[in-house]
Amino acid sequence: MSLHRADTLGGRAAVVGIGATEFSKDSGRSELKLAVEAVHAALDDAGLTPADVDGLVTFTMDSNPEITVAQAAGIGELSFFSRIHYGGGAACATVQQAAMAVATGVAEVVVCYRAFNERSGHRFGSGLQSRQPSAEGVAMGWTMPPGLLTPASWVALHAARYLHTYRLSPDVLGHVAVADRRHAAANPAAYFYQRPITLAEHAASRWIVEPLRLLDCCQETDGGQAVVVTSVERARELRHAPAVIAAAAQGAGRAQEAMTSFYRDDLTGLPELGVVARQLWGSSGLGPQDIDTAVLYDHFTPFVLMQLEEFGFCARGEAADFAADGGLELGGRLPVNTHGGQLGEAYLHGMNGIAEGVRQLRGSSVNQVADASAVLVTAGTGVPTSGLVLTADG
């Protein structure tokens, strides 16, 4: 049963620093080095030092233990450290856990980080080559033998059902890719800076797993990203106006699996995001009509359309028209992924999307939405996941 009442976390913590390495295909350095660079950059952005930090949060998939990052970054004692499971689904939950630690007095300054050489090292897109027996791996035992071994193949089943149900062509997915790449083209930090694409180029890109084409799939990236969380009161004394964490939530749906929830009654939605949406709207007191811009996790284009529907920006089956009408573009009904997203800027398991949400509230995005005061950020889809509503202070 999902949360039926508003929680009390909102408004008690804020994001005060963001920092990243460059985004590349071959970083030439260790994942630990990337993590430390990102942490230092985020602290510098906040006007804080390693000595101020007493908490660290990352992903279970990250290869950089909190104590190792603390030692390498010059951070002293830690009173809080935590890791979140389920890959990209962890992104916003790192900030949620940091906020909970701050709000309860367990820690004062918490840094959330993610760093990997996901292009020059282990590539997630290559899929599963083998798996040790485990309870978690049982679900994969039903999908691996027929050849469903990659994230693209898992998402393709959902996408095929969605397109069939609403009688849509795979070409509708191109509007998501084109919008992301147009935003990335204006972002000097994006890997695809100055390289927009057209709908024709999307339609001409090769099939990966039908109905997904190459340009429906996010890139693979080497890099690191970190964000700093502290109390709203302390945030007001620091370098930038705080990005207040108005609401934070995690969610797992009924019959939830990690990317292979094929035995639900309906494959055309993302119930785990529905759980997150209900909590975010209920706890923040806001709704879809109040959001100025959104960062929607875009490892694959079909799931962006489904997220629009789960969060109530449009009705079921209407997201394709929403996107085709320019709704995702700067100046559209809901500008989405103004940094370029994971399709255009970088694939950092969604952490770079949190940073873009903060930039929008600061007024420093390269694709700035005028007077942005409320931003929705989501984490990985198809897995147990998380989300944030960030707002301007006051």
Residue (of 302, 357, 379) closest to 89 by Cα position: 379
Query: Rounded to an integer, what distance in angstroms lies between the CA atom of residue 344 and that of residue 341?
Result: 5
**SS3 of the chain: helix, strand, coil, percent, to 5:** 35, 20, 45
Catalytic one of 86, 113, 162, 347: 347
Query: Rounded to an integer, what distance in angstroms lies between the CA atom of residue 285 and that of residue 381?
Result: 24
| Residues 6+ positions from 170 with CB-CB distance below 8 Å | 159, 163, 210, 211, 212, 213
| Residues 6+ positions from 120 with CB-CB distance below 8 Å | 25, 26, 27, 222
Residue (of 112, 360, 349) closest to 223 by Cα position: 349
Give Cα 100 to chain centroid, integer Å: 19
Residue given tokens 């934070």 in the structure block: 248
Query: Rounded to an integer, what distance in angstroms lies between the CA atom of residue 37 and that of residue 41?
Result: 6
| CA-to-CA separations, 124 to 47, 119, 129, 341, in angstroms, rounded | 35, 9, 11, 17
| Residues 6+ positions from 177 with CB-CB distance below 8 Å | 197, 202, 215, 216, 301, 343
Name the token pair of 218: 């996010």
347 is an active site residue: yes
Name the token pair of 87: 């890959």
150, 125 in Cβ contact below 8 A? yes
297 is an active site residue: yes
Bridge-based pairing of strands 207-209 and 212-213 is antiparallel
Catalytic residue numbers read: 297, 347
